[in-house]
Structures are given as C-alpha cells and as structure tokens.
Structure 1
Amino acid sequence: MPSNVPQTFRELLDGCAQSAVHLEMRDVYAVDYEQGPFADWRAGFRHNPADRASWWRPWLDVVTEAAGRGVTIRRARIVSEPVSEYTRYLYDNTFTNVAAGEHVRWLPRRRASDLALPGNDFWLFDGRLVQWNHFGGDGSSQGPEVTENPAAVKLCADAFEAAWARATPHEQYEIR
C-alpha cells in the first residue's frame, strides 16, 4: 500500500471531498452482552432523541464535520429477516446517524440474493479508496485494510449502488 494513503478512519474521512459510502452485511458485530450500550439497550434503555447531549458521541462529530464540508455520507445495511437482536439495536439507534448527517437504508438479505457483493463490509471514499472491515466469526474486528486497487474500487462502488437502489430509506423501513 502506498505510504501516502491515510491509515486511520478519521484520516480517510477527513481527506474525503465528495462521498463516503458504507456497506454493512453482518447481522451481528462483537458486542458486550454484560455491560455497555448494547447491554443497556437489552435492559430496556432507549435514548431520548430530544436529549441530544445524552447520546451524542465523538463518531457523530466526525460525521457532522464531513457532512458540513459537503461530503455525502450513505450507509446501506443488508439484514436478515426476521432481524437479529443486534440489528434491532442498530435500528433503534440509527436516528443518531441520521441526526449527524448520514443517509441510511436497509435491504432485506433475500432481496440482495442476485447482487454481486464483496466478501467484507467496507467504506468507499470519493469512489477511489476502499477500507475493508475484516471480522472474525464471533463478530470481533480483525482490523481494517485499505486499498486503491481499481478492481476492488469498482466492485465496491457497483455493489453499493446496487444495494442502495433496492434498499428502503430508514424512515420507511419497518423492522421485522
């Protein structure tokens, strides 16, 4: 990988000028079932959208800054139905992503069967640079990998646009 390619996600998004798209394809990511936000949600806690200070976090600042510079940020989630408990948790908290400036859509997995999709979740920045997100079987992060390989970029761009075109906007998606 060339040394001039940004290495951290923050650097990648800070260097983005037009668009950042994210395709998520897992039903579960590593979570702590005993403590933390997912455990709190499982116990019945729900963020109050009107109490922004209670749910705003540094990630949302990064998104807001990028959107403020004119970067369009889109996230498509391919999900199995009925959804996993973790996907329900994501759904309940997606209002925070939207408030920060992301556009989010949901695509039921059975409607994605005939799409050519890469083997890993990814971010695509300005249609030129991919960050793969590698995960273990238990959902734990195995670290990112960044590439400017034109074939990988094209695969991700085409896959994202195909999924986005079929997906339902967050405000219209009914969780099942």
Structure 2
Amino acid sequence: MKHRVVAIVLVAVMLLSFPGIAAAANLPVPVFGQLPLNNLCWATAASMVIAYGKPDNIDRKVDIAKMIHGAVNYNKGGTNANMRDAVWTYLRWPGSIQNNMLSYTAVQYQTNNGGPIIARMSKNSGATLHALTIRGYNTTGSKVFYNDPWNGKFYDKYTHTDLVLGRINDPWDWGIWNAGIFWR
C-alpha cells in the first residue's frame, strides 16, 4: 500500500511538472505606426518583427523601404518577399511565406515558439491591401493579438474568426486570406 501511494504521488508530480499548452501568450513586439507614409504598412510590419528580434525599439520602416525601392520614391507597397527579405537582412531569420488562410493553431504554434507573424489582409478577391503583425493569442474567446501599422495601435479584442473573415472595423473590414510570413 505504501509503495502504491508513493507511486501515485510521483506520477502526479511528474504530470504537474510538464508544461501544458498556454492559454494565452503575447510576444513583446514593439508597436510602430506607418503614417504619414501611407503605403509602408509592409515595411512597418517588418520593422516590428526586426525590433522584436534584435531586441530594440528602433523603427526601421524608412530604411527598409529605401532598401527595397530605392532612396527617392520609396513610399510604395511591398510584397511578402520584400518583408521576408528585410527580416533576413537584419536578423538572418529565414521566413516561410504561406499563401493560405491563417489558422488559429498556426497563431498558437508560432507565438509559443517566439515567432511573430506578418499577416496580409485582403479582400476575398485576393487583392492585398494591408499588412499587420500578429504577436499573440488568448484561448478564452479565441482572441488574436496584433499590432496595426496604420494607426500604431495594439489590439487584443478580436476573435480569430472575425479577423480572418474581415468582421472587424478598426479600421479594416478585410480578412486575412493570405496568411503571410512565419519565422518559427
């Protein structure tokens, strides 16, 4: 009987010592705004990832845009490849471009492994209109945490479904139809 109690206690201690899946996680990704450069959401989103990876609080959006588009006319849109290349240039992190619907499981996996996500927001027609940086989640209510370069704000109030399907109006009504870039 004594051995049985000891065995049960040991099993209980072992089970409690293993980490479970987090109910919430929020990476300390700095928030930067793109304005007054209205076409640099992509460079600002990449700048947030770079500042997280360094770690520092330096907004490099103009340097990134000039690196991609040249020093004169750099207030232009960018692609997934442009963002991936910018992060590679500064951090040497190889990014994986995913051109599919962003899953909540992917948000959890990336965040739990220290990887922010740059998500491309689009109309369901496929035209990409904006980029933002996903930095965390909360399983209570399936919330997704993200930084929006347009207004330089952090959001934690939208569900994954609402974000993916474009049922938000702060200020976007577009969904994440083109998941973007992963770093972990």
Tell which structure's C-alpha radius of gyration is larger: 2
Q: Tell whether the structures are fold-level matches, with TM greater than 0.5.
A: no
Q: Which of 1 and 2 has higher RCO (CA within 8 Å, sep 6+)?
A: 1
TM-score scaled to structure 1, two decimals? 0.30
